[in-house]
Amino acid sequence: MEPCDDAVVTAYDELLEVQALDLSLQQLAHRRANLPEQAALDANSARRTGVESARSEVDAAHRELVRRQHLLEDEINQVRGRAETHEATLYSGSVNNPRELQALQDDIEALRRRQRALEDDDLEIMEELEPVVAALAEFDAQLTVLADEASQLQAALGSVTADIDAETARIGQERSDLAAGIDADVLADYEQLRVQCGGVGIARLEGGHCGGCHLALSAVEVDRIRKLPGDARVVCEECGRLLVR
């Protein structure tokens, strides 16, 4: 064998190493795209969205009750104020006409009745508010737990992603150093075959079998390959992958 033949054979051997690194890079990319931490974070996010949506409905009911309560309390204050003004007039001694006094007392009684009715309504609203406020507190507690879980998952995700990225960079560097020493046409040939053949563009020929498709080559073909010069481009007759002898 001539020295240049050895060099080419080495190039195909090196291509096998490049391919091993490419497969590692592919596995790392797959792992990074399918991290359980990311899936857990997505599930956490979906649960938070669900709780937030349920909470916002209850929150709207809460706001409406509080709005009605404020209106009622304003009205109670007005009615009470008017009753107190009437009472002040009644007890001031400024009204002496019995008919006017009676009218004043009737007004005061009517206002106090109205005040009691409004206060009953107010109590009902307070009772309605109780479970609503409790539900909001429960939602807030759930959201706090989910937010804590999310930040833990985020930290774990950041850590595992950084590890994968570092490993990817290390292998990527190793791959490009190795590829730099391989003939550009040979490398381009491999890269095209790798795309066409599902990630495996080159395989070892062992015992007359292609390491890529695992089919046996014909004895005639194996014999023909054996007689080829060392730098010859050899492909599997079954799957078309490059073969390393």
The residues binding Zn ion (CB under 5 A) are 210, 212-213, 236, 238-239
For the CB of residue 222, give the shortest distance to Zn ion in the complex, in Å.
13
For residues 172 and 208, which CB has a smaller minimum distance to Zn ion in the complex? 208
Q: How far apart are CA 176 and CA 185, in angstroms?
A: 15
For the CB of residue 46, give the shortest distance to Zn ion in the complex, in Å.
45
For the CB of residue 186, give the shortest distance to Zn ion in the complex, in Å.
18
For the CB of residue 14, give the shortest distance to Zn ion in the complex, in Å.
20
For residues 114 and 204, which CB has a smaller minimum distance to Zn ion in the complex? 204
Q: What is the chain's Cα-based Rg? A: 42
For the CB of residue 22, give the shortest distance to Zn ion in the complex, in Å.
18
For residues 201 and 212, which CB has a smaller minimum distance to Zn ion in the complex? 212
For the CB of residue 202, give the shortest distance to Zn ion in the complex, in Å.
10
For residues 118 and 210, which CB has a smaller minimum distance to Zn ion in the complex? 210
Among 199, 162, 161, residue whose Cα is nearest residue 18: 199
Q: How far apart are CA 108 and CA 93, in angstroms?
A: 16
For the CB of residue 9, give the shortest distance to Zn ion in the complex, in Å.
19
For residues 149 and 238, which CB has a smaller minimum distance to Zn ion in the complex? 238
> What residues contact 202, with CB distance under 8 A and at least 6 apart?
12, 15, 16, 19, 190, 193, 194, 212, 241, 242, 243, 244
For residues 182 and 236, which CB has a smaller minimum distance to Zn ion in the complex? 236
For residues 170 and 214, which CB has a smaller minimum distance to Zn ion in the complex? 214
